[in-house]
Amino acid sequence: MVWLWWLGGALVLAVVETLSADLTFIMIAGGALGGAAAAGLGANLTVQVIVFCVVSVLLLFLVRPWAKAQLARRTPHMLTNVEAKIGREATALTAVDIHGGRVLLAGEEWSARLADPQADHPAPPVIPAGAHVRVISVDGAVAVVRSE
């Protein structure tokens, strides 16, 4: 009957893992399953705790690093926050020049300035309101843009 307590502990740890997503609690849950197996085979409580500890430590130090590496390799890199703004199209709300202006970017109003003109992509000295621009970088809270 003690194996049910170990199984319940493993389930609770698995639920906690869904909140942390760090693969720590699921490894300890594996240790609890080891303790449940030891209890199911009739081992005394001392052996059950030893099995729990050994399995947990092995999973934490041998399986967890490998599993995290596999997840990192298979999970696509998602651009977030400022990274997600770079390369997006925006609309000039006011005239935008190298000193400043305002653009509508992803439904939000942003301060903007025109990127320094380059030889391969000459930019007009002022982008008029209503023109479409592309964000090439973000400098603090200012979108640096280039005309489309």
Q: Which domain holds residue 43?
A: 2-74
Q: Is the pLDDT of residue 119 over 60?
A: no
Number of domains in the chain: 2
Which helix H or strand E contains 135, and what residues bound it?
Answer: strand 132-139
Considering the domain architecture, whether residues 70 and 11 belong to the same structural domain is answered as yes
Q: 85: which 2 tokens?
A: 């703004």
- pLDDT, tens digit, 9 for 90 and up, residues 35-85: 999 999 999 999 999 999 999 999 999 999 999 988 888 877 666 677 778
Q: What pLDDT is recorded for position 118?
A: 62
Q: Is the pLDDT of residue 123 over 60?
A: no
Q: How far apart are CA 87 and CA 5, in angstroms?
A: 54
Q: What pLDDT is recorded for position 147?
A: 85
- Among residues 57, 74, 91, the one where a domain terminates is 74
Considering the domain architecture, whether residues 13 and 62 belong to the same structural domain is answered as yes
> What is the percent of the chain where pLDDT is above 70?
92
Beta bridge mates, 135:
145
Burial class of residue 103, CB neighbours in 10 A (0-12, 13-18, 19+) = buried
Considering the domain architecture, whether residues 69 and 93 belong to the same structural domain is answered as no
> What is the percent of the chain where pLDDT is above 90?
64
Taking CA 56 as the corner, what is the angle to CA 55 and CA 57, rounded to the nearest 5 degrees? 95
Phi, psi of 48 (to 5 degrees): -60, -45
